[in-house]
Amino acid sequence: MPVLLVKIVNGLSEMPLPSCVQKEELNNLREGVDYANKYFQGVAILSYPLMKLEDGTNVFKVVLQDTSNLCSRINSINVLIYGKMAEDCSKVLQHGDTFVVAGFKLAKSPTAMEDGRHSCQLEVSEGAGSAVYVCGYPTLSCFSVAPKYAYTSLNQLKDGTIVNLYGVVKFFKPPYVSKGTDYCSVVTLVDPSNAKLTCTLFSGNVDCLPKIYKVGDIVRFHRIKIREYNGQMQGITSGGFASLTFDGTVGAPIVPRTCSKVYTFMEEELKTINELRVWAASNLSISGPPAKLSGVQPMLFFDLTCQLVGKAKVDGSSFLLKVWDGTKCPYPTWKVPVEERDLEGEKVLLNQLRNLTADILVYDNHMQLAKSLKIGSFLRIYSIHAKQGSADNENGSHIEFHLHGGTCYGRGIGVLPESNPEVKELKEFLDSVDLSESQDMESMSALEAESTSNNVADLESHLQRCQQLPVTVLTDHQDMKNTDLKTILNSTAPQQYRIRAKLRSYKPQKLYQSVKLHCSKCNSLQEVPIDDDFDFSLQGSAVTAPNTIFHNTSWYDSVMWTTQDEKQRKIVIHFVRHDELLQQPKDTLVMIEGGTLKEMWKLTKRFKCVIPVRSAENGLQLLDLSSPFLLQGNVKYYGCKQCSTPKPIKSLGSLAAEQQPSWEPTEIAQVLGIEPLQYVFVMKFTLVDGTGPLNVYLFDYEKFFQIPASEILTSNYLQQKMEMTMNTLCPPGRKLADLPWLECFIKSYNVKDETKHQVYYQIFDTTVAEDVI
DNA sequence: TTAGGGTTTG
């Protein structure tokens, strides 16, 4: 905790102290009492030069006088300040300053006999969770130096200004090593004006970047420069940038986190922070309690607060961190093989904790920071991927923890100070873990071990659910009897069956790979083109300059401009009119020439439909069919190259002339001569029922998972939902006997070509049970 | 200078 310099201004009657601490009088100080939540206030009447102990720790001694007890025989006390705080205090303290010490320890004063002061001394240090408030002596000269800051709300920011502001953290990337010379942190703020500001902060000293630990924290930035970037205001560090960060929880102690040695902090600041906390509580979605290793969900991403017990180099692009949080992951976890000599950390402890540590493999840009971490430090690792490893033995697959390269999603590593309340809580919990018990766990199943943690009830009910009711159900054919898999394998096709089986494995394991594009006309399947291809195609089409002859026709208005960058790219947007009028953006179809993929996604947020076009000889045309012919919402619509005969864009005019154009993708496709491709999940399930394995295909637009295949690639939420569904259908690391039952309706069919004849099986009229979704 | 959140998958 820092030293706070509070400048006295007229009318400030009290020190702005955290509400949780209470004042203690000099004559009530007693040895053996806990003063963690108490403060003592006095006037500095004497201070000594900054000294160093033998181990190099700084120590600063101050004598405080209790001015409310001047008549007492003993009215002064020695205060010893240790560590970084000693240095900070020695720089700012002046005789006559009012000095408040919060969260101190009391020890016998070795000099009481000689100096005639109190028999005890106050001991203050950052490690003990102390805070020191220094309050300038209220003389006239102080009035003039007290700075009064003005704060700009986020909707009032102007390009080219340098401002002070407050904000609630909506998103952040913990400081990481940039490709330049500095550390970088990206922070997105919101405030009650409902505006949003993304700030890019650089500093050569990582300590000088805001100490943000979670979404919802509140920051105060001084002297941040505002610039316009991509049509939006952006904050960037300027000379003299300074920040304070506060816990955003209503009612939590208001203690600024900062590297500034001196800053103003008065009643007004307290008021602002309290107001922002209350506003954020109802206006910002803050996720629930942080994940523990015991609550890890396979295939999802999570933030972990933990202690570092070991680290090791693995190879040129990855580095291993061994961490624990006192709980046990309910799934078998991957242990990264490393050379014994490369593993840094207390060998005895590493061995003791071997069943409780998680191996986290960090990649690329995170390696440098990871290498510099101190064993024993407390970390919050953001966006760890709980990846499902491949099935490497009979017992099924394991979970791997990866911190992938890059900083998307705020991926990174933050070091938490020991004074952080969550670290204090974690430390207490770690101290309470019985290590002998955890070592015995080796012989227990993961599930039994899990019963030591809190969410045992959830897990058990989930397991029971899996063992009793089938996790998939039929939507029809309820009166049909089950057929076993062996009988099906021995029968001729085509036929239809009802089966009850377990899902032993499925492909692809990477669920996003299961999404394909299907043409219902020629029955072909193809991969969904990647964005890079589309971007490439857009760049190609941007080479042809827009032809102004095709601008502003009877059914659309055109606006053209040139980008300010070196490329001087020309962009045209054609706004389709209806009834001679432009409609609301949410009902409007726009066509764009020369745009980038990013610009196109931005347009889809505002307009109903976006069609990428280019100028050809005879008018506007679609791009080639490797690109989507339409973007709507989050979905890119593609056409079949084989079955489509693209028509010129002017054919769309007929739809625009309709009374109420709905701009349905199928209608647009039809008038443009496009045979649309449909998004579909294609998966291979290996089912078992004790009579034999059967490979069955799932070919599903949206009925089985109740998730539209068209939307999954652009929705993190839907991907997580699907992953969770698959984990329920086929829980990783579970023995065959513990797998849930699936009820399915399948049909067999023949596929013949000149050389061979094969029977295939496909799931029909089946859906995931309602309570699994 | 760095990065510029809107995405991750060894």
Q: What is the pLDDT of residue A642?
A: 94
**Distance from residue A409's CA to nucleotide B6's C1', rounded to whole Å:** 9
**Distance from residue A185's CA to nucleotide B5's C1', rounded to whole Å:** 11
Confidence of residue A442 (pLDDT cuts 50, 70, 90): very low
Q: CA A215, CA A208: separation in Å to the nearest integer?
A: 19
Tokens representing A405?
């390269």
A444 or A181, which is more confident: A181
Q: What is the pLDDT of residue A704?
A: 94
Give the residue whose CA sits closest to B4 at C1': A200
A6 or A607, which is more confident: A607
Question: Would you say residue A394 has pLDDT above 50?
Answer: no
CA A524 centroid distance within chain: 38
Domain A293-430 architecture: Beta Barrel (2.40)
Q: What is the pLDDT of residue A14?
A: 42
Question: Would you say residue A265 has pLDDT above 90?
Answer: no
Confidence of residue A141 (pLDDT cuts 50, 70, 90): very low
Question: Would you say residue A407 has pLDDT above 80?
Answer: yes
Give the three-state DSSP class for A426: helix
Average pLDDT over residues A462-466: 48
CATH number assigned to the domain with residue range A3-136, chosen from the 4 options 1.10.3720.10, 3.40.640.10, 1.20.1630.10, 2.40.50.140: 2.40.50.140
Check whether domain A161-283 has CATH 2.40.50.140, yes or no: yes
A393 or A326, which is more confident: A326
Average pLDDT over residues A102-122: 86
Tell me which nucleotides of strand B come within 7 A of a protein CB: 1-10
Average pLDDT over residues A174-181: 93
Confidence of residue A459 (pLDDT cuts 50, 70, 90): very low
CATH topology of domain A472-513+679-772: OB fold (Dihydrolipoamide Acetyltransferase, E2P) (2.40.50)
| Minimum-distance nucleotide, CA of A234 to C1' | B4
Q: A232: Cβ under 7 Å from strand B?
A: yes
Are A96 and A43 in contact by the 8 Å Cβ rule? The answer is yes
Confidence of residue A756 (pLDDT cuts 50, 70, 90): confident
Lowest-confidence range among A41-50, A343-352, A375-384, A486-495?
Answer: A41-50
**Distance from residue A593's CA to nucleotide B8's C1', rounded to whole Å:** 30
- Chain A window 79-108: residues with CB closer than 7 Å to nucleic chain B are none
Average pLDDT over residues A160-183: 94
Question: Would you say residue A142 has pLDDT above 50?
Answer: no
Average pLDDT over residues A589-609: 86
Give the residue whose CA sits closest to B3 at C1': A200
Confidence of residue A97 (pLDDT cuts 50, 70, 90): confident
| Tens of pLDDT, residues A186-241 | 999 999 998 999 999 999 999 999 999 999 999 999 999 999 998 899 999 998 89
Lowest-confidence range among A269-283, A413-427, A465-479?
Answer: A465-479
Q: A301: Cβ under 7 Å from strand B?
A: yes
Question: Would you say residue A152 has pLDDT above 90?
Answer: yes
Confidence of residue A631 (pLDDT cuts 50, 70, 90): very high
| Tens of pLDDT, residues A418-433 | 888 899 999 999 998 8
Lowest-confidence range among A136-140, A310-314, A642-646, A680-684?
Answer: A136-140
Confidence of residue A260 (pLDDT cuts 50, 70, 90): confident
Q: What is the pLDDT of residue A303?
A: 93
Phi, psi of A185 (to 5 degrees): -140, 135
Domain ranges of chain A: 3-136, 161-283, 293-430, 472-513+679-772, 531-672
Q: A178: Cβ under 7 Å from strand B?
A: yes
H or E element at residue A439: helix A435-440
Spatial neighbors of A381 by CB under 8 A, at least 6 apart, are A303, A304, A306, A321, A323, A360, A403, A412, A413, A414
A434 or A7, which is more confident: A434
Q: Name the average pLDDT for chain A.
A: 84
What is the separation, in whole angstroms, between the first and last Cα of chain A? 46
Domains A293-430 and A472-513+679-772 share a fold: yes
Tokens representing A433?
């873990």
Share of chain A above pLDDT 70, in %: 88
pTM for this prediction: 0.52
Q: What is the pLDDT of residue A754?
A: 83
Q: A716: Cβ under 7 Å from strand B?
A: yes
Which candidate, A474, A471, A472, places its Cα nearest to that of A765?
A: A474
| Tens of pLDDT, residues A286-344 | 766 678 998 888 878 999 999 999 999 998 889 999 999 999 888 888 899 998 899 99
Confidence of residue A599 (pLDDT cuts 50, 70, 90): confident
Confidence of residue A138 (pLDDT cuts 50, 70, 90): very low
* DSSP calls for A600-667: HHHHHHHSSEEEEEEEETTEEEE--TTS-SEEETTEEE-B-TTT-----GGGGHHHHTSSS----HHH
Phi, psi of A727 (to 5 degrees): -70, -25
| Minimum-distance nucleotide, CA of A316 to C1' | B10
A103 or A147, which is more confident: A103
Question: Would you say residue A178 has pLDDT above 50?
Answer: yes
Give the three-state DSSP class for A239: strand
Sign of the four-CA dihedral A483, A488, A492, A498: positive
Q: A364: Cβ under 7 Å from strand B?
A: yes
A462 or A529, which is more confident: A529
Q: What is the pLDDT of residue A492?
A: 92
Q: What is the pLDDT of residue A271?
A: 86
Question: Would you say residue A12 has pLDDT above 70?
Answer: no
Question: Would you say residue A561 has pLDDT above 70?
Answer: yes
Sign of the four-CA dihedral A157, A162, A165, A167: positive
Q: What is the pLDDT of residue A659?
A: 77
Spatial neighbors of A290 by CB under 8 A, at least 6 apart, are A214, A302, A303, A304, A305, A422
Question: Would you say residue A373 has pLDDT above 80?
Answer: yes
Q: What is the pLDDT of residue A446?
A: 36
**Distance from residue A404's CA to nucleotide B2's C1', rounded to whole Å:** 20
